[in-house]
Structure formats: structure tokens, C-alpha cells
Amino acid sequence: MCAPHIVRVAHDQAVAHTTRRGLFGAAGLAALAFTAAPAAARSGSVVDLTHTLTPQLPMWPGSPSFVAVPVAWHAAGGFAQQALALWEHTGTHIDAPLHRTPGGASVDRLAAEDLVAPLIVIDISARAATDADTTLTLADIDDFEARHGRIPPRAFVALHSGWEQRLPIAAAFVNLDPGGTPHAPGFDARAAEFLVTQRDIVGAGVDTLSLDHASSREFGAHTAVLGAGRYGVEMLANLGAVPPVGATVVVGAPKHAGGTGGPCRVLALL
Ligand SMILES: [Zn+2]
């Protein structure tokens, strides 16, 4: 077992090491790797739903940023390698059931077939533009199915809130109020429960930092999805570049033993 404070010390040492070496410098907003969505993704193309992992990416309040430290380089030995220090829930990442549920499946135990699924994208960005606490509700699912048909079994349902537009300014993405509470859209707990029990989804995704709306203290969407053995993916990118139905998502989850989640490469196949 590695106590949390030991992990924290290792992380802090890595940060100090990185700062001394000036690897990333005082990266301004312009240095953020913000991937512009392709204007019109064509059938047969692949859309990357993953943010580039950088130390500047916004993090859930209290979680430290990602750090990469070169430990070998070409000039000394012929091969380059870096040591990484990161919270599992960093950047575009998966939440395994274990993240929320004692005894739940760790990320290495997720079924491979559940990581490839029909991709459903439900857009609530118009509402999210004026209400940071808005949620994807049962009414949104009804409306979506009236337009696009019933959500098929074993699909992955992603909530598109448009929050990605805030990414260049991390503080705007986290969106803390004066009391230190974050505000961002997420799944309403009843909608998440419905998707699991009535539509048998494999997982749910958001373009924000949390499956629940960020000011939630009940975390009902996390409980509904992860508690049922399904997985979540947070901080998805480019959801505006994929159709509401018809694409296939590939969730390239990490596979470390006992993991509660981790950064992943998520692709949409059109
Ligand atoms: Zn997470």
C-alpha cells in the first residue's frame, strides 16, 4: 500500500524537479493544446474525443496537475523516457465502478467489449450557455428519442454541454463560486438511473469534470452509473464534431491492476 501522503510527496518532488528544469515554463493560455473540432466529420473518419494531457488542464478542485519528468534522453543512452505523476482522474479519463463503489470493478476488470459501443450524443449546450448548473434530464432523453429513435442497448451516452469552449481559461472551466463550490453541467441522477436501468447503457460521458453537475453533493449520477457496474468518462473533447447517433466510440482505457480510473484515449469512429 502506498499512503496518499507518500503519493503527494512524490508528486510534489516531481513538480519541484520539473519547475527547476523549466520544462514547461510559464505556459500561457496560448500554449494550451486545444483541439479545434473538424468542421464536418465525414463517414469513415475518426474524431478524437480526447484532450491533450498537459499540466495546464483544469482539474477537480484539490487535485494536483499532471507532471512529466524526463528520466532518460537520447543523448544519454539512446532512448527517451519520462516519469509521469498524475491523479487517475486527470484530463480525459475513465471512472471505473470502484471509483464510487466499494467492491466495484477496477479499471482492469472492465469487459473489453463494453469499451467499444454505439455513441449517443445528447446536446444541452443551449441551456448550459446560460445555466452552469443545468443537467441532462429525463425530458432531454424523451426529446432526444423523439428525434433520433430509442437509445439502443449497450450504448455509451455522452452529454454535450459545450463546456469545452471554456478550456483555454482553466478557472472558467472549473467555475468556482466565491464560496469555493464549482458549477458546471452534468447528468441528473434520475436520468442517469433511467439510462442504466431502462436503456442498459455501458457507460456515460461528459465534457465537464464530473458526471454529476459540479455543485452536487449527493453525486447521484456517479452512484447510478458506477454503482451499477457501468463506467463514466469525464472531460471528453470534440463532442460537437460527432453526430447524435451513428458513430461508434472506442474508450482506450488504461489497465493497471486495482485502478479506479485513468486518462484514456477516446475515439469516435464515424
Ligand atoms: Zn473521474
C-alpha cell at 40: 464536418
Euclidean distance between CA atoms 205 and 217, whole angstroms: 19
The pLDDT of residue 125 is: 98
The pLDDT of residue 39 is: 52
Cα–ligand 1 centroid distance for 55 (angstroms): 17
Cα–ligand 1 centroid distance for 155 (angstroms): 20
Cα–ligand 1 centroid distance for 94 (angstroms): 6
Cα–ligand 1 centroid distance for 95 (angstroms): 5
Cα–ligand 1 centroid distance for 92 (angstroms): 9
Cα–ligand 1 centroid distance for 72 (angstroms): 31
Cα–ligand 1 centroid distance for 43 (angstroms): 31
β pairing state of 93-95 and 135-136:
unpaired
pTM of the model: 0.86
The pLDDT of residue 22 is: 34
Cα–ligand 1 centroid distance for 80 (angstroms): 30
Cα–ligand 1 centroid distance for 60 (angstroms): 9
The pLDDT of residue 41 is: 72
- Could you write out the DSSP letters of every residue in the chain? ---HHHHHHHHHHHHHHHHHHTSS-S--GGGS--PPPPSSPPTT-EEE--PPP-TTS---TTPPPPEEEEEE-TTTTS--EEEEE--SS-SSEEE-GGGTSTTPPPGGGS-GGGGEEEEEEEE-HHHHTT-TT-EE-HHHHHHHHHHH-PPPTT-EEEEE--GGGGTTSHHHHH-B-TTS-B---EE-HHHHHHHHHTT--SEEEESSS-SB-TT-SS-HHHHHHHTTT-EEEES---GGGS-SSSEEEEEE----TT-SEEE-EEEEE-
Cα–ligand 1 centroid distance for 111 (angstroms): 19
Cα–ligand 1 centroid distance for 233 (angstroms): 7
Residues of the chain with pLDDT under 70: 1-40
* Cα→Cα distances 19→65, 67, 140, 169, Å: 13, 10, 46, 21
Question: Which amino acid does the sequence have at 163?
Answer: W
Which domains are seen in the chain, by residue range?
Answer: 93-269 (3.50.30.50)
